[in-house]
Each structure stands twice: as structure tokens, then as C-alpha cells.
Amino acid sequence: MKKIIVISFIFLFTYCSKSTKVFKNDPYPNIEIPIYKSAKKIKYYIGKIPNTDVEVKSVRFVIKTAFPAMKVIEFYNENFKKIGFSHYYEDNYGKGNWGKFGDATIHKNIIVDVRQLIKTWINKDRKTRIIIVLKYIKNLDDNWNNELFVLCQIQPFYNLNDVKKEFGEQFLINK
């Protein structure tokens, strides 16, 4: 299970941008990922996390909106609540707080500032988790452009605290 968790989060950031196809063979046919009204560059992905049988459903798009994107956050809170999901952060992943960090992978080893929020919801039977990543990336001219990158993924639920108990803290930094 350790590898599934780590690979799942890597998959979220790496593989979701590889397709523009509408969902086919949907592993979560009863859950529609809502798309914010002004979304552009919409890309869909359905597939398995590499080297596992774990299926995920993802969508990625861009919105023009000012930081801190409160209307977008409220939109997802309302939509996921309507389908029976509740905000989940007991395992300290997806608390919904904005963080800021430097990222050298966006512009070929040039460090740019990124503001990022990760929020997660789970369904009542604790079998499915929805993860949303909201990200603002500072331009190379050192200005924020109010372009919000949105990534939403549906996947099986894993409580990271349970994984820590089973495998220890090293799974977060090793492998």
C-alpha cells in the first residue's frame, strides 16, 4: 500500500496532463468532476497508476481568477458536498491551506514561486477520495498573472496515518 500512496500522488502531478480525451471506461461513473464555468485548456485522463491496478479519473484546466480563488474553492466545496463527500484532512494531506514554495521544474532549472493549495474530500464509506490541487505560478518577469491551474483527481481512499503506522515515516521521503 505504501507504493500505491506515493505513486498515486506522483501520478496526480505527472500523468494527468497527458491526455485530452473525454472519459472512457470510467472507474467512477457515478461521480462527475465539476468544471468551473470559465475553465480553459480542459484535459481529461482516466487510467491506472503505473505498476498498480489502481484506477483514477482526473481533469485539469486553467482559470483566470485572482488569488486566493475563494469562489473556486467554494464552488468545489458545494459541489462535493452535494454528492455526499466531506472535507478530509485527518491524515494532514489536503488541509486546504495555501503554501508558497520555489519550483525549478517548471522553467528548466529557473526557480519560480508557486502558490499551491491541496484539498481533499472523502465519501461516507471512506472508499473514495477526491483531491484538488490549485496552483498559481509566478511569471519569469516576477509578476503573478492570476492564472489558476486546477487539477482534480478521484482515486481510492488511503489514510496516510494508517500507512505511517504500518510502514513508518520513511515512506514519505524514501522510495
Q: What is the pLDDT of residues 112-145, one digit of tens each?
A: 999 999 999 999 999 999 999 999 999 888 889 8
Quote the number of domains for the chain. Answer: 1
Bond from prior residue into 29 cis (ω within 30 degrees of 0): no
Q: Where are the beta strands (DSSP E) in 85-127?
A: 85-87, 95-107, 110-123
Structural domain range at position 131: 2-172
DSSP 49: P
Tell me if the pTM is above 0.85: no
**What per-residue confidence (pLDDT) applies to 9?**
45
